[in-house]
Structure 1
Amino acid sequence: MGLLSMSTFSSSLQSRYEAVEAERRRTWSPEALAVNIAQREALVRAQPETKHVKAGDVLSPHVLLNAEGTTISLDDLTSSGPAVLVFFRFAGCPACNIALPYYAETLAPVLKAAGIPLVAVSSQPFPELDSIRTRNDLPFPVLNDPELTLSRALGITYLFDEAAQEAAISKGGRSETLNGTSSWELPKPTVLVLSPGRVVSFIDISPDWMRRTETPAILKALGLENRSVSHAA
């Protein structure tokens, strides 16, 4: 396989979301579709005024948990150089089950070859959180951000609006199963490139969870935009 162009990567993830959007418009009830779209559009409108960390900021120490309950600090992840953290909503999120396999296909091989850690992060507690890794056979760890501590520090969380909260409760949902807290709050999908010393070198926040960071943008932030999947494998 030759070099994969930026446009190839870019269309790959977005085309998967466009197919899902089209299917939802055919099969979902108008009411359910309206609730989903309204929350996403509201988050996009609010994003410019939302306070969050930016490139150059230095994070305070934080720890994440793996499925065995072992703590992994941000300093652990960046002990040998930069690390890439992909924040996602929860294991049962359909859009997350599209994004993480995409990153497994297009991003993970390049980062592995470059010796750069890649981890996915969600506030959802284990053991349910680990189901997204096993279901998609992900080649990178899935870690828990206990009680949204790191996500809140980054400024990337959002609250369900009333309609979305009611829709979740009507299906038997509980905030505790999503984030371990009593708050209906989740991280917005976010890609964070962290350098040693907990320095933010790149952050991209996706308030619309059906529009996420493409692999070329991440590779460019790392200076790896000319690497191919075949070369990394």
Structure 2
Amino acid sequence: MNQTRTAPRTLAEFMAELQASRDAEWPAEQLRGHAELRGRLVEQADPSRFVAPGDVVAPFALPTAGGGTTRLDDLVARGPAVLLFFRFEACPACNTALRGYQQTLAPALRELGVELVAISPQVPERLVRVRERHGFDFTVASDPDHALIDRFGLGFAPTDAERDASRARGVDLGEILGTGSWVLPYPSAVVIDQAKVVRFAEVQPNWMVRAESTRIIAAVRAAATAHASITERKGS
């Protein structure tokens, strides 16, 4: 019997499914406003300030959902680490993307012994919900003062007029995050090697686009190979 091999799903496919459901359910005006907002974010973004390969990452410690702390030193103790930045636990696009990463990225990293951490500026007690909702087996951490987000150049915030309009719709982002701040990160994926150097960084101001797992895994493998080569040369 012939069996058809199913190719792994891509993050683009996960996000396309979400957009298709919105296309079917949302009124045209809402779809247009959503697309225009994402377009403005892309236009206003300044890539020159984004974290980039070659950057050295200073130590950090972040509180985790459910209690505890995740530290850079621990994350890279045995190999590279992967950081995924997302908006907040109730963000539909972030839920879709993280669910995609759970299926397409987390298993490969687990086999490689690589740490995966998803990071949001939302307070840790609220992030517990997204971890439990999808049964994530990777760490979900909080950057409540958005210090790491700012250091990586990922943060953005709405204008005063946009905040007023959001509050008029009954949406207060500062309350949702639990911090009073309206700063969110652009969805991003960052690979950091054992020398605490960034080996891969993809920042997407359009929150309906996410870094593909295949690219992240390739960067992780390259970082691990490079570290092994350096270690071997030092030992010879």
TM-score by structure 2 length?
0.83
Quick check: 1:151–1:187 contact (8 Å CA) kept in 2? Answer: yes
- Map of 1:108 onto structure 2: 106
- Map of 2:225 onto structure 1: none
- Map of 1:86 onto structure 2: 84
- Map of 1:192 onto structure 2: 190
Q: 1:23 to 1:167 in 2, by over 3 A?
A: farther
Return the match for 2:218 from 203, 217, 220.
220
Shift of 1:175: 3.0
Shift of 1:158: 1.4
Instruction: Tell me the alpha carbon deviations over residues 149-195 of structure 1, each in whole angstroms, 9 at most, x when there is no partner.
Output: 10011001111256753454234332333444433210111001011
Shift of 1:76: 1.6
Quick check: 2:84–2:187 contact (8 Å CA) kept in 1? Answer: yes
Shift of 1:217: 0.7
- Map of 2:167 onto structure 1: 169
CA distance in 2 between partners of 1:138 and 1:153 (Å) = 26
- Map of 1:210 onto structure 2: 208
Report which of the two structures shows the higher radius of gyration computed on alpha carbons.
2
Matches within 5 A, 1:132-147: 132-147=130-145
RMSD over aligned CA atoms reads: 2.4
1:35 and 2:36 matched:
no
Q: 1:67 to 1:23 in 2, by over 3 A?
A: closer
Aligned residues: 219
- Map of 2:63 onto structure 1: 65
Gaps of 5+ in 2: 223-236
Return the match for 2:22 from 18, 24, 35.
24
Q: Structure 1: which amino acid aligns with 2:69?
A: T
Shift of 1:49: 4.6
Q: Counterpart of 1:221 in 2: which secondary structure?
A: helix
Instruction: Tell me the alpha carbon deviations over residues 171-222 of structure 1, each in whole angstroms, 9 at most, x when there is no partner.
Output: 4332333444433210111001011242111110011111111111101112
Instruction: Tell me the alpha carbon deviations over residues 133-159 of structure 1, each in whole angstroms, 9 at most, x when there is no partner.
Output: 100111111111121110011001111
- Map of 2:233 onto structure 1: none
Percent of aligned pairs sharing the same letter = 37
CA distance in 1 between partners of 2:47 and 2:76 (Å) = 30
